[in-house]
Amino acid sequence: MAKLTYKIVEHDGGWAYKVGSTFSETFPSHDEALRAAEIASAGQQIAGTTDGIQYEDAEGKWHEELADGRDRPQTEISDEK
């Protein structure tokens, strides 16, 4: 199972959360960024529907597969404030 870490960081004159190399929008306060990360993290764990997906890999080859809507990542929040 995949694990995503939502890291609270200073960003662009305010605060944001970062997952991998992707930043959220910038929030005016640390507490607002933390709350947004908590909401996003909780949403990642909600099961969806099983559905067919298509995606292109790094070599340009297309793939089709069935994505299990119950296969959700574990999430955590890292806040070093």
Q: What is the tens place of the pLDDT at every residue in 30-75?
A: 999 999 999 999 998 888 889 899 999 999 999 999 888 888 888 9
- Residues in contact with 81: Cβ distance below 8 Å, sequence separation at least 6, in sequence order: 8, 30
- CB atoms under 10 Å from CB of 17, counted, come to 26
More confident residue, 2 or 78: 78
Return the pLDDT at 71. 82
Q: Is the pLDDT of residue 2 over 90?
A: no
More confident residue, 14 or 48: 14
Its pTM stands at 0.73
Element (H, E) at 36: helix 30-44
Element (H, E) at 37: helix 30-44
Categorize the per-residue pLDDT at 1 as very low, low, confident or very high, splitting at 50, 70 and 90.
low
